[in-house]
Amino acid sequence: MGIATSRIRTWFIYISFLTMGSPLIVYFILAFWMNMKRYILSARRNPLKYL
């Protein structure tokens, strides 16, 4: 996403205190999305690797 991980973690802590835990769901969704993005990009670079 082009954002420093330290900045994301800092804002996650701030938001967690303000909303009492609901950003945890957003954090897991973003982590899943970033993992899928990495998987798709690696499959696109080497299409025969996963056959």
Residue 35, pLDDT > 70, answer yes
Instruction: Give residue-wise pLDDT tens across range 8-26.
Output: 888 888 877 777 766 777 7
Please count the residues of the chain.
Answer: 51
Position 47 scores a pLDDT of 60
